Structure formats: C-alpha cells, structure tokens
Structure 1
Amino acid sequence: MPESPIFMRLTPAISTERTLPGKPAPVVTLRSTLAADTLHAVAAPPTARVLSIKTRERETKPSVPLELSNPAMAKKIGKIQFSSLDLIVPALEGDTRDKLAVPISPIAEPADTTIFEDPADPTKKYYLPRYRVRIHSGHYEIGFNAMPEGTWRLNIGLEPYPAPELGLGIQGAFELPHDIAVFFRYAAGPSHTIGRTVNFSEIIKDDKGLKVAAILTVPERDALLFALQTPAALPALVTRRAIRVAIPIANPGTQPNAPGRVRDHRSLAQNAALAARFIRIRPNPQPQPKPAGRYSTVQRALDDMTDPEPFVLDPLLHPYLYESAAAGGRSGEAEFRRVILTYPKDTPDARFYTYLQDMVEPWIFYYLPDRFKLSRREQLPFLPQMVVRLDTADGEIEKTMVTIDYLAEPWLNTARLKAAGLSLQSEIPVTARQSNAELRPLQAKASLRMWLPGPGGAALVEQKDVTVDLANGFVHSLTLPLDSFRQLYAAAYSSDATSLFSGEMQVETGLSTPESIHVGIRFSDTQGEILTFEEQPFDSGDTIAVKMLNGTESPLHIDSLPVSVRRGETEVPATIEGLTFVPALELDSGTEVRFFVRPQGILPGDGTLDAVFDTSSVKIRPDPEKILPLISDTSVPAEYERQIEVMTVPELLGEADDPASIILINVEFKGGNSLKLSRSQLSGIVQVRLPLMDLLLNRDVQGKYHYRQQIIRRNGTQTADTTWREADFGILVVPGL
C-alpha cells in the first residue's frame, strides 16, 4: 500500500512540485507521483526504511506523510500573529496584481466557499469544487474486485460539485486549478484510538468526474470493511485539494483595534528599536501603510469529508459493497502489537521506547516522538512561535489577564529511529508481503496536561481545549492572571529546574497503560532552525566558503560545530578553517561569521558539494527582555495607566498678595499627560502611562513614573525643570524642591 496519497493533477496550471501551506509542521512535498524524497533508506543489511525523517542530521523535525498532514492545524497556526514582524519584514512585500500568475482570493484564508478572480481579468471567476461519491441505480458507486495476485481493488466513483453556500455566485465560474488526494481515514485498535489511513493510489479523470482505486491485501480489506460498519471507528472518506492562489497582504498600519484598546504608535517605535538591535533591521518608528493591492502567493490544502459523515455503510442497506468483497469484514485478531526497545542499547542512559506493530501490515511500525518543544518560525527571523496578548478590564491593572498562544512540535532522535528500524526487522513474520521495516508516526488519541501556577502552588492541569496531533504538534492557548504569567514566563527562560510550563502528553492506544511524552516550553530548548548557512565553492577546489548567521533573537553559545561534506551519495568528515571554538564562540542575534570547510576524504564525481552541520550542541542563551517585546501583540498599548493624585497646599504657594507667590503650577508627566494647579484648584487626578514591559517582567513593581514642573509667579517670573524627576507615590505633592 502506498505510504502517502497520490495527488492527481486536475489541470496543468499548477507546478508539479510544491509544499503544503501554513506550517502544519513539517511541510510535505506534493507530487503527482509518490513523494520518494520523504523516504530515508537506512544502511543495510538488513535494510529498514524510516519514513518521514529528513536526511540531514541537523534537521530533527519529522517530515509527515501527506495523509498525516493537518490543514486544520495550519489554519490555527495562522492565528498566531506576530505583530512585531510588521516591523521586521520588508515594507513592500508580495506582488502587485499585474505580476501574479495564479487566481486571487479576496480573503487571507481561502475555502471552497470562496469565489476567486483571474489576476488579468477580474470578470473571470473560479471556485474550488467539493467531491461526493457518485450514485448509480440507487447505490453508491463503490465496490471491490479480486485481483489475480491475491489482492483486492477498491473502486470509488467521485463527482465534483460546487459548495451550496456559493449560491448564484457560481454562475459563469470555472473550476479552480487544483491537485487532489483521496484517502479513507478511520480509528483502529481495541479502543478506536489509533489512526489508520487507506490511500487511493490511482486517480483517473472521466466524463463524470473521477475514478479512484486502492489495492489492498485481504487483512487490509477486512479491517476497512469492519471500520465502515462501525460508527465508533469514525470512518471518513477525505478529499484533500491542494491549491496555489494569491491572498491579499494585510496592512498592519490600518488594522482595526481590539475593542477598548488604543493603538499606541510609540510602542511600535520602541519595539522597532528593539528589533533593530536584535534582528539587525532598520528601525521604523512610524510604520507606513503598505501600498494597496499587494498579494502573496501561497499554497493551501483543504479537506472535505464526503457524505455520509461518518462514512458508515450498514451491510443491510449497502449489501452490494460487502458482497463484492466476499467477506464480512470482521476482525477477530489483534490489530496492533506493542513492541518495547531500549535506546541507547546496553548503556547506563538507555530508555524504553514503544513501537506499535500493525498486524494488518506487519512490516509497518508506528513510533512516538521523543518529546514536544516550543516551535520556531521556519523563516527568518527564527522567533519562538508564541504570542503574548493582554486585556485589562475597565483599565484596572489588578484585573489584567494575559493570553499566551504558542505552537509546540514533536522532536525526534533520528539515530534512535534508525536503530529501531534495524532491530524491528526480526519482528516481521516471514509470510509478510514486505520484509523491510517501515517506521511511521503514530496518530492516536492524546491529551495534554501542563504544570501551571495555582493558589496552592504548581498543579498538573489537564488542558481540555487542546486538539493534539502527534505527527504535527498542537496549538495551545492559556489565559492567566498577571502574576501567573510572570511565573510561567520566568520558567520559560530560566535555566533552573522547574516543572512550570512543562507537562506530559498522554497517548491512548488501548493496548496497555497510556504512553507518556514529555512537553517542555523553554526558549533555550526549541524545535526548529536557529542558524542559517550560505555556501559557495571557493578556490576552484573542494573547499566551501560558508557564511553562518544567528537567525534567532537570542545569543548563541557554540563550543563545537561538527561538519561533514556530501557529494551525491558520498559523505566524508570535514574540518572548519578560519573559525575557532576555543574559547566558545558567542554569537549575538543577527551576527554572521565567515569560514571555510574542507573535506577530509575523497568525494568522487563533479557535482555540487554540500556542507552538513550538526548544530545539536549549540546552546541558546535566552534573554527575557529581548524576547518579550518581539512576541508581544503590538495592537495593545506598550504602556499601562496608573492613577496619580497631584495636589498642593496654600502654604506652598505663598501669601496671595506676595509678588513672589505662585499663581500656577503646570505638572507634565512623561508620556504626554499634564495637570495645572492653582489657588482655586489645589488637586487633580491624572492617568500616568508606565512601560508595560516593566510590569510583565516584574520590574519596578512600585510603578515609578517621571514628571517635571513649571512654576509661574505673580511677578511674572517662570521656572521650569530641565530634567525629569522620578517618583513612585500615589499622591504627588507639588511644587517639589
């Protein structure tokens, strides 16, 4: 059975090679044939194939088979908006309409209920069709055929149709160019908690729509038939449509403010200055609106569940399907078998790892991630995938609530999986159709529990609102009081041992006790790239000139950087020249260094040389004062307000008939507010703006503010402060000495 669904090209308008949208990590290559580059061959004998592990050792993010990618998660990730990136990305990004070669979506999140426009002709419209099972003589067009080699062919006829929500808007519109993959998805195992897919490897266009087919063994056929008559298995026939369209680029300078919030452009200026220091960009204190009519070309994958949903076909109502299979579809044997291996084997540090053997396809073993980590962006700058938002009810700082949205992704030890692939060879029955082990990421029911601050201290709390995807990760949102946020944020950047902002993923397989996977949200231990490498040949030999850049917001500590050089299938160790790691290299954010890499062996052929770096020993030194401004939502003020009572007394003003007496005191506060006092108005209330970062980072908790005074006397003389005074009292008595 194919490892991933086959994408059929329905029109020639889209390139044959591209990636899925958003960041349903990691990105999966879509092809019109099997994506062979997602398979990694482990050295033989014996051979073992590890699916979904990239070939470069420094890349620890698994490449998920297409049927396990998650378009719904991509949409959630898109909601993690980094407002500070408005200050980092170029002001003129994207293309104007006349430069586009793909249809245009009027909204940033296109769907099959969207009407698209041709970039050259706005009157030409497109829509993305849905697909449903065709009906012939009152029966679904679905059935089995026996094949000579002992396998079974499952055939389904599909027809396209426009989403009913489009209504009359569909008139005169054309089908949007798209690729399509079709697969069954259902829950298997004793408790229906383990995900399994059946991919249709043949997709043929006919005059009615599509004919799709999957080749199944007898156990595969029976397992699917059992699922199709079992509501608890939640069977679904999924049509995944991949599109390439242009979306409008949002204009951060004109985005509507959140209710009850004031956009403070000084906060943008402050964040711009911070970003300029940490990301090496040009500060832009007053961001200008982006020119109208600019678009970004993106890829999107959209799923549609074909009716009926769930795709349950009762044998009494649909006997033709079960008669065509000549089988009842009952599964009397265990579907999965639990295998425990240790790694590193025969060492004091060995740990136990669980693998589930699929007894329907006994050469397939499902694995779990080693742990989940805070993700980083895939593009420069490699900021943590976290956004901090604040909401202060009625302007009272005591009622401030902080919302943290973040993305966590699975981390895998590729060496552990390679070793497991070899060890699991002996678990495959000699009668199996395939003798080489394949490792695939497990999809199963999972729940998240996190250590969070509570009235009685830290508590392990189940997060009921989180949808966990073991192959891609999860998006989590926490809303906490200000003091609790301070504790979590401190844990995220602290090097001290603390359970806060960590937890465990409980995976239900139904075979034994739940499997537990560690979850840790730490800025110093993240998932994703932290360095970029630009390579080019040097001196017409095997030497490679390298430019290495720290693409994060934090300093990096590098005491070693193992490297090898690859040409074709040959890889040899290499050395670095022009850069030393004694003492360790401290690389600031946005800083680059240049050096040379020379291979220490012979690389036959004349192809391109590729330096492969192992960055596993590079340490991130997170600085909380650098990170927080970059992950904070800049649509809220960068300052909060504190109420100060300003007053004077007649004795400080002098006798009323004295020419030197004070007739007016003007008190100006840093931040723009001011108050005037006189003999007829001896007091007043002013709202003083204070830096929000001080509050979030627990600095200056007394609320220090700055002011200066201007005094006007009866005789016309004036005196004014030339520097700011500092105070933290709730009642300020003026004039001050």
Structure 2
Amino acid sequence: MEYNSSKSNFGSLSFGLKFRHAKCRTLKIYEACESLQDPDTEPESEPFAHSRGSCPNPEESGIAAPFSRTTIRKRAGKNEASGISGLPVCPAGEIGDKVLYAAGPGSSGNLYLPRYRLAELQLPNHNQYLVSLKKSRQGWDLKVRLEKYPYPGLPAHGLKELPHEISLTLRSSGIPEDRPPEFSFQELFRTAAGLNAVLNIPTLPERDMVYSILTKPGCGTELIVCRRIEVAVPPESKENANLPPDSSCFRKVRRVLENPIPFNFPPELHEYIFRDRNEIPGVGLICRQAGANNYYQVQDNPHIFYYLPDSFRLARRPAPPCTPLLSVRFTGRGKVNLEYTARPTTDQRRLEKDAKLLETFIPDSPDNPAGEQKVRLRPLLPEPGKLKYYLGLPGEGGPGPLRERKGAHLCLQEGIRDRLILTVPEFREVFEALFRPESAIFRGRVEVELGGGLKESVPFIARLDRMEGRLFDYEENVDASGCGEVILRNLIESPLKIRGLAAKFIREPDEVIDAKIQGSPRFRLPELPLSLKPAEERRFPVLPERPLPEGPLPFRLKLEVEGPEVLPDPEAIWDSIAESGISPESRVLTVKTFVFRDEEAAADIEELIVEFPGGKTVELSRKRSTAKVNLDLPLKDRVLHREAFELCHYTVKTVDRKGRVSAVREGTASGDLLIVEGR
C-alpha cells in the first residue's frame, strides 16, 4: 500500500519502508464524509473520563481524554457506510502522542501512540546502545534496535497500542549542502518491545558518509521515526475548525507524526558501534586510537595491543666508541659504496601514557572485571613481504621522488640495512643532508601492509644529531660515609652538551632518597650546560638530602641526564665511517708558462720545476712549456669542502744555466689551469 500526496503536502509515504523527500512535514489529509447526525438523538459531548473515571482529569493532567463509546455509537449511525466505523477516535485536542484515543466499536480500552527511543544493553558497569555498523554481504549494515514507550504523562498501565505504520530515515541537518544527506532504512521488523531496523549501505563512499555524520559533532544527525495513523475526529476537534458551527459529523484523518531521536556517537565513547569498521579483515586485529597514535587490538585476546615504532633512525655501534653504523668505501671509477643501518625507536613515555587510554577498549566480562583491565603492549612484527621501504636520493635538479629500495633488508624489530652505490657528487649531497634537518635527501619511510587494504607508514630519519644508540655512560660509587661520586663519560666521536644533572640514592625494593650534586674540596661543580669532548670524562660529588639509613642492602646512585645534545663533528664522523686506505680522487691540472717566449728575460733560466704535495713534479723548459699532472686529492677534502681540494698549493724552483736553483716561490691556484712565472 502506498500513498502519494499532492504538492501541498510536501512528501510521500511508502508502507513500512521509505519517506522519500528531505522534508518530512506533517501530512494533513482529510476525506470527505457525509453528516452522521442521528435525528432521534441529541449529540453528547461529555468525555469518557468524566463518565467512567478510567482516565485522569484532563484539567489536572493536561492530557486530552477520549470520547465514550456511547457517544461514538450515537453519532455514528451512518459511519459504517462512510468507512469511519471501527477507527480509533481522537479527543477534542490536537492529534499526537500525548493524548489517549478511544477504541472503535467492538473494542475496549484506551489507546496510545507510542514514542520510540534507542534500546540499551545493560552491562555490569555501564550501558551500551543497541546500534552497530557491521560488514555484510551487500556492503555494510547499520543496525538499530528501538524500544517503544508511552508519553510520560499517560497512565502507566491499562493502555493498548494505537495501530500505526512506521518508516525510518537517517537525516543530517548540520552539513552546509544544498541537499543534506538522508538515508532511508530498507528493513523494518516489529517486535513486542519495539522495532529492529536495518540500513544497507552498498558502497564505501556511502559508508564513509554515514560514519562521518554519526561521529562528527555539529552534524545535527537524527533518526526520524515517522508514524502514520488513521483516526476519527469529532466535530469539536481542532481538526474540524473549518466546518460549519452546527456540523456534528466525524471526519477521518490521516497523519504522519515525526519522532526525532538524536543519533550522534563519538567513537571514543561508542567504539563498540564501529568495531567492524576498525577491524582489519583476515588479520583478527582492531585498530584503536589513543591520542595521536594507532594501536592494534587482538580480537580474540582484547588485553593485547600491538604498536608500531615511532621512527627508524641511523644507529650507533653498541660498544664504545659508539660511532655511526655507516661505512664509506671508494670503489673507483667515481663511485662510492655507502652502507648504513637504522634501528626502530619508540618513546616509552608515550606507551605508558597511551596504555591508560587503551584500557577503555577492553570489554567487561566475568573473567575480566572492571578495574583489572591490564593492557599488554607488544611490537607489531609483520612478515617481511608486508614491508616496503622508500627513500629519497639525489637527482638532477634536486632530490628526486621517493624510490622503493627493493634490495634493502627490512624488519620492524631489527631495523633497516641497505647499501647505496653513488657518484661522488651524489654522495657529497647525502653526507651534507645528514647535518641538515630540513633536507629531503636521504629521508624516507617504511610502509607496513596490515591487511584488508590498510597501510601504515613509519618515517626514516637520517640525522647525525638524532641517532639511535648510547651517547654516554657513568660510574657511581658510594662510600661508607654516605657520600657518592659519579663519573660521566662521553662515548661518541662528537661533543655532547648536557643541559642538566640530577641524582638519587636508591635501595631495593623501593627506597629512594633525593640527592644533590655540589662542590667539595676535591671536586668543582661545572656550570650548566656542560660540554663533554669525545672520550672526555667528568667527576661529580653527590650528597644525600638526609643521612642514609642503615639497612641490610647498600644504596646505589642513579644519575639522570637532562637533554643530552649531540654536536656533530663532520671530520670526526668522516674518520669514523670511511674505510682506511680509501682511494684518493684524481684531479688533472694543466701547468703552463710563457717565460721562454721572451729570450731576453729568460736568458739565465734553464728550466722551471713545479712541485706539488705528494711528490708530483712538472718540469717546464724551452722545448716543453705546457704539461699535465694527475694530482691525487683525498676524497675527504672534497666531501668536507676543504680548501685543500678547491685550491692547489705548489712550489716553483727556477734553475739557471749552471744547474743551480736561483729562486724559490710558493703559491696557490684554483681551477684546472696553473700559469707559472719565472721569477
């Protein structure tokens, strides 16, 4: 059965399924009927409540009372012919769910139009709405369970439900669009307690739209329950205000009444609704968010949460000296072999903080009562085939796009091991990028495939001031008098800056006494921040704030170092990563003189001898005024932009005709051409 309204009604209704238009205004639809006045009987108007007392006093309760069945029978002599016989009768007030209706002839009792609200599941410590967004064969299903209830001002017992038809619509009015999104539920199932409804969502864009309007505040999302009823109204009803004053006929009225239900569910409070959306298909993990970080909860064991590292960083060697795990080797033909290792890094403080937030995702159960939700965090270790590594390398005109490094060894637990073959200019760009945090060269990411099309990325950070590994260590001693001494030692190749120091005396199991670092006749407290050169160590006296109590176990010192900052030393880093005996880079220099073109000026000169560092020499004479020399210059000088590579140092010796050195002159030159003068 389907009713289509005229344009003035602003809507249409399909039985139990759809309400088609965005605007669901109340339909006021009247059917013409003939006068039902019985000439032998005077109309009666006293309400049923006044004659039988089965309903509260309308003046006291504010509820319109139904008409008596006697009144209905007297007035309905010809009702059967007009189709009104048997319809519930509305009182003189407006039609709605705040009034009682009188049952038609042949029935007894009062009727009410139920309201609907979201049904709840009662748990030991809290309740949950019976709403879910679940995966189905046809896409996704939004399932809702509603319960019916009478208006609070109506009698609590002795009421029957007014026959009505229902349709459900999901509507959002807070989105600035010409036509706000609206979804009609396709499946409705009546139950004794209320209604079960299903909205099938066939596509991912529609699912994401539904998820958005359900979770974002300010969308004004409501679940609209449209209730369609047919009732008879007496002449004195407001619905018959346009009839002549002496009219005594009943009229049949069809009406659609909206019952809006707020329908917004912040995911941090109602994650159970969206559990299937967050689940990774085929993996058995559910994505949970704590702060800005994602965690993955085991569906069958909700105590366990997997996490990804914060980043991958270049690593240091574990044993002193803790130099960078990089290796540079010059392979010849202008190529450089660069091998490097990166380790995963995770901030333990963020894990401790997020663990408290993750406790809310552990469901209550007899085996897991409230207050005993222990979160177990474990690193996520997917198969190697689920990892991809992308790296930015030098290219023509600047850094090129990220390129996949298919030959790199990848493991979320062990890290990254990779080898690059670069030209000398490319290697110099990479080496310089290690000192510049804003550079895009030698930066990248590890992409983790989690299943179901879901991917996560972990950044790769290659900065020499933010490497993974030990920077310092310390030794502590506590003497019999209760005084302590701490020896702090730099373990790396570059200087360290220490911003603050703090110490505590600790004794098992949980005894802690604050301490202070101060001067003494043997020691002098340095000013902070403190700088430590490579391999340098400093000694500090430590005194307890109060005398150390005696006990079976001795106290030990614990030192806390605030903000250790690495000050990278390019030359020291190069010396620690470059293999010994690395082949120098050859540079061709052309040496030329014009002295012998002037015989008068060169009368006493037999030849010019040009000497270069490393034992290379060039002899220029009247027969040979131009020569070339191959100079072997350290790659280190080129990488570090040293002057020794840019400038050529030389010594010129002038030899007279008797074979004696008559003059010696030193100089420097740049470029690939050197012009030598005689004197």
- Give the TM-score, by structure 2 length: 0.52
Instruction: Tell me which moved more, 563-572 or 669-678.
Output: 563-572
Q: Against the structure 1 CA distance between its residues 731 and 425, is the aligned structure 2 distance closer, same or farther, given a 3 Å change threshold?
A: closer
Question: Aligned to 1:648, which of 589, 593, 596?
Answer: 593
1:422 shift after superposition: 4.0
Question: Hey, what does 2:392 align to over in structure 1?
Answer: 451
Question: Hey, what does 2:285 align to over in structure 1?
Answer: 336
Question: Hey, what does 1:419 align to over in structure 2?
Answer: 353
Question: Hey, what does 1:514 align to over in structure 2?
Answer: 455
Q: Secondary structure at the match of 2:398?
A: coil
Q: Against the structure 1 CA distance between its residues 590 and 674, is the aligned structure 2 distance closer, same or farther, given a 3 Å change threshold?
A: same
Q: Do structure 1's residue 357 and structure 2's residue 300 form an aligned pair? A: no
Question: Aligned to 2:537, which of 575, 592, 598?
Answer: 592
Question: Hey, what does 2:624 align to over in structure 1?
Answer: 681
1:382 shift after superposition: 1.3
1:693 shift after superposition: 1.9
Question: Hey, what does 1:22 align to over in structure 2?
Answer: none
Question: Hey, what does 2:565 align to over in structure 1?
Answer: 619
1:558 shift after superposition: 1.4
Cα distance between partner residues in 2 of 1:655 and 1:359 = 99
Instruction: Tell me which moved more, 414-423 or 500-509.
Output: 414-423
Q: Do structure 1's residue 439 and structure 2's residue 382 form an aligned pair? A: no
Q: Do structure 1's residue 555 and structure 2's residue 489 form an aligned pair? A: no
**Bigger CA radius of gyration:** 2
Question: Hey, what does 2:430 align to over in structure 1?
Answer: 488
Instruction: Supply the RMSD in Å over aligned alpha carbons.
Output: 3.1
Question: Which aligned pairs between 1:147-226 and structure 2 lie closer than 5 A?
Answer: none
For structure 2, the residue ranges without an aligned partner over 5 or more in a row are: 1-279
Q: Secondary structure at the match of 1:644?
A: strand
Question: Which aligned pairs between 1:664-675 and structure 2 lie closer than 5 A?
Answer: 664-675=607-618
For structure 1, the residue ranges without an aligned partner over 5 or more in a row are: 1-330, 343-351, 394-399
Question: Which aligned pairs between 1:228-243 and structure 2 lie closer than 5 A?
Answer: none
Q: Secondary structure at the match of 2:610?
A: strand
CA contact (8 A) 1:358 1:364 kept: yes
Task: State the identity %.
Answer: 30
Cα distance between partner residues in 2 of 1:479 and 1:732 = 34
- Give the TM-score, by structure 1 length: 0.48
Cα distance between partner residues in 1 of 2:452 and 2:283 = 10
1:461 shift after superposition: 2.4
Q: Secondary structure at the match of 1:686?
A: strand
CA contact (8 A) 1:530 1:552 kept: yes
Number of residues of Structure 1 aligned to a counterpart in Structure 2? 386
Cα distance between partner residues in 1 of 2:607 and 2:360 = 92
Q: Do structure 1's residue 704 and structure 2's residue 644 form an aligned pair? A: no
1:641 shift after superposition: 1.9
CA contact (8 A) 2:408 2:418 kept: yes
CA contact (8 A) 1:559 1:582 kept: no
Cα distance between partner residues in 2 of 1:715 and 1:408 = 66
Instruction: Tell me which moved more, 586-595 or 353-362.
Output: 353-362
Cα distance between partner residues in 1 of 2:644 and 2:674 = 18
Q: Against the structure 1 CA distance between its residues 475 and 340, is the aligned structure 2 distance closer, same or farther, given a 3 Å change threshold?
A: same
Paired letter, 2:673: I
CA contact (8 A) 2:500 2:528 kept: no
1:418 shift after superposition: 2.2
Question: Which aligned pairs between 1:36-185 and structure 2 lie closer than 5 A?
Answer: none
Cα distance between partner residues in 1 of 2:297 and 2:307 = 9
Q: Against the structure 1 CA distance between its residues 548 and 686, is the aligned structure 2 distance closer, same or farther, given a 3 Å change threshold?
A: same
Cα distance between partner residues in 1 of 2:339 and 2:638 = 19
Q: Secondary structure at the match of 1:541?
A: coil
1:378 shift after superposition: 1.1
Cα distance between partner residues in 2 of 1:531 and 1:334 = 42
Q: Secondary structure at the match of 1:447?
A: strand
Cα distance between partner residues in 2 of 1:392 and 1:556 = 36
Q: Secondary structure at the match of 1:527?
A: coil
Question: Hey, what does 1:471 align to over in structure 2?
Answer: 413
Question: Hey, what does 1:295 align to over in structure 2?
Answer: none
Cα distance between partner residues in 2 of 1:449 and 1:378 = 26
CA contact (8 A) 1:565 1:574 kept: yes
Cα distance between partner residues in 2 of 1:652 and 1:386 = 54
Cα distance between partner residues in 2 of 1:377 and 1:603 = 41
CA contact (8 A) 1:566 1:603 kept: no
Cα distance between partner residues in 2 of 1:373 and 1:603 = 44
Q: Deviations 1:93-117 (Å, cap 9, x if unpaired)? A: xxxxxxxxxxxxxxxxxxxxxxxxx
Question: Hey, what does 2:578 align to over in structure 1?
Answer: 632
Paired letter, 1:587: L
1:729 shift after superposition: 4.3
1:574 shift after superposition: 3.2
